[in-house]
């Protein structure tokens, strides 16, 4: 009887919980778990929230992303890197609070700890329902203050000459969210600005055991991420994607072991962070686009395109 290694055991454990194996190498694997729509929770929030709760649940489900995990075996130790997305901090806070509530000493204390957040949510839903039901509209008649047409000097020779001059159409300004895939370029969207400090292609990991697979190479980007808005903004380093000329798409993984790695974090308004994001791409790939999704609720991406 053979004993499963830590990598195989983790794959088996996650497979039993609905995870799917995306790719498998001797010492690493990538798995994905799709989001699931719960009719039970949808009905519950529809009844409890007077319809508004159902809309909130639909928005929450739409904002969710598929769960993605990278498993890598190094020196007999299993390294796990997960993409938590924008809902990761909220989930961690809820789970942490629930564990704290379960450790209360008395049943009375546990009851208050568990019932507190539920009561707050119900009050908020009630207020939202009352506000949507009590809203009204008011119409105003806005009078026209248009002035009668003024006489012009279109008949004069000077005016005729001006009219005959060809009009030049100005070139459209390049969107702020697009820039060239080159060192020094910068682009911004949804309050996040990203600048490319250096492109390391190929990238050599400082760890001698971290080598690209056969037919592959490592690429890394030295990036500065800045929150140019006034409010706090959560930034996920796993939202970077890389595309080559043959339309192969690559995602950020735990290999290569770049250092210092660009970490996901909550950036305060006006602050910035810097680090490396690494990709494993085909050895012959010609990279044409690096892009980043700054906000799950919008379709605007930050794009860096090869010229």
pLDDT confidence bin for 2, thresholds 50/70/90: low
Structure tokens at 49: 């929230």
Between 302 and 116, residue with greater pLDDT: 302
Q: Is the pLDDT of residue 137 over 50?
A: no
Same domain, 73 and 109: no
Task: Report the SS3 class of residue 70.
Answer: strand
Confidence of residue 300 (pLDDT cuts 50, 70, 90): confident
Do 183 and 287 reside in the same domain of the chain? Answer: yes
Q: Which residues contact 133 (CB under 8 A, 6 or more apart)?
A: none
Both structure tokens of 76 = 């007999």
Of 62, 83, 104, the last residue of a domain is 83
Q: CA of 146: how far to CAs of 106, 140, 153, 154, in Å?
A: 74, 18, 21, 22
Whether the ω angle into residue 260 lies within 30 degrees of 0, i.e. cis, is: yes
Looking at the fold, whether 269 and 219 belong to one and the same domain comes out as: yes
Q: Is residue 152 part of a domain?
A: no
Split at pLDDT 50, 70, 90, the class of 93 is: low
Does residue 168 lie in a domain region?
Answer: no
> Are residues 95 and 67 part of one domain?
no
At 289, list the tokens.
């686009």
- The residue with greater pLDDT, 246 or 43, is 246
Residue 187 lies in a domain: yes
* Residue numbers of the domain that contains 109: 88-127
Q: Which domain CATH number covers 228?
A: 2.60.40.4170
Q: How is residue 129 annotated by DSSP?
A: H
Residues 40 and 105 in one domain: no
pLDDT of 225 higher than 50: yes
The pLDDT value recorded for residue 105 is 59
pLDDT at position 134, please?
A: 56
Looking at the structure, do residues 63 and 105 belong to the same domain, yes or no?
A: no
Q: What is the pLDDT of residue 174?
A: 67
**294/235 same-domain check:** yes
As to burial, measured by CB atoms within 10 angstroms (0-12 exposed, 13-18 middle, 19+ buried), residue 282 is middle
Question: Across all residues in the chain, what is the average pLDDT?
Answer: 77
Mean pLDDT value of segment 240-258: 89
Min mean pLDDT across 2-16, 141-155, 224-238, 267-281 is at 141-155
Within a domain: residue 10? yes
43-47 long-range Cβ contacts below 8 angstroms, 24+ apart:
none
Structural domains in the chain (count): 3
282 and 184 assigned to the same domain: yes
92 and 77, same structural domain? Answer: no
114 & 227 share domain: no
| 99 vs 301 pLDDT, higher one | 301
Q: Does residue 50 sit in the same domain as residue 94?
A: no
Q: How is residue 27 annotated by DSSP? A: T
pLDDT surpassing 70 at residue 287? yes
Residue 78 is assigned to a structural domain of this protein: yes
CA 148 – CA 57 distance, rounded (Å): 55
- Specify if 21 maps to a domain: yes
pLDDT of residue 60: 67
- Strands (E) in 34-76, as ranges, are 67-74
Q: Is residue 254 part of a domain?
A: yes
Same domain, yes or no, for 188 and 301?
A: yes
The answer as to whether 165 is a domain residue is no
| pLDDT of 12 strictly over 50 | yes
Tens digit of each residue's pLDDT (9 = 90 or more) over 176-206: 889 999 999 999 998 999 999 999 999 998 8
């Amino acid at each position: 009887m053979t004993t499963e290694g830590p990598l195989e055991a983790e794959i088996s454990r996650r497979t039993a919980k609905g995870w799917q194996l995306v790719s498998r190498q001797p010492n690493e694997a990538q798995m994905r778990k799709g989001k699931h729509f719960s009719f039970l929770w949808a009905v519950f929030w529809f009844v409890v929230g007077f319809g508004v709760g159902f809309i909130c649940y639909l928005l929450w489900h739409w904002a969710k992303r598929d769960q993605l995990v990278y498993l890598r075996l190094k020196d007999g130790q299993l390294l796990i890197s997960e993409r938590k997305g924008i809902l990761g901090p909220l989930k961690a806070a809820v789970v942490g609070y629930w564990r704290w509530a379960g450790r209360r000493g008395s049943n009375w204390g546990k009851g208050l700890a568990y019932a507190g957040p539920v009561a707050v949510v119900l009050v908020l839903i009630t207020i939202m329902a009352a506000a949507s039901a009590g809203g009204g509209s008011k119409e105003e008649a806005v009078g026209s203050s248009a002035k009668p047409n003024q006489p012009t000097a279109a008949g004069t020779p000077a005016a005729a000459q001006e009219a005959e001059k060809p009009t030049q159409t100005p070139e459209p300004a390049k969107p702020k969210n697009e820039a060239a895939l080159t060192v020094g370029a910068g682009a911004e969207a949804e309050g996040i600005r990203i600048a490319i400090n250096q492109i390391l292609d190929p990238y050599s990991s400082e760890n001698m055991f971290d080598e690209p697979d056969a037919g592959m190479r490592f690429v890394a980007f030295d990036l500065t991420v800045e929150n140019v808005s006034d409010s706090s903004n959560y930034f996920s380093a796993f939202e970077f994607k890389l595309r080559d000329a043959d339309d192969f798409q690559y995602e950020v993984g735990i290999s290569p072991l770049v250092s210092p790695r660009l970490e996901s974090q909550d950036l305060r308004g006006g602050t910035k962070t810097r680090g490396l994001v690494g990709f494993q791409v085909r050895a012959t790939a010609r990279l044409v686009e690096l892009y980043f999704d700054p906000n799950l609720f919008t379709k605007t991406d930050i794009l860096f395109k090869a010229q």
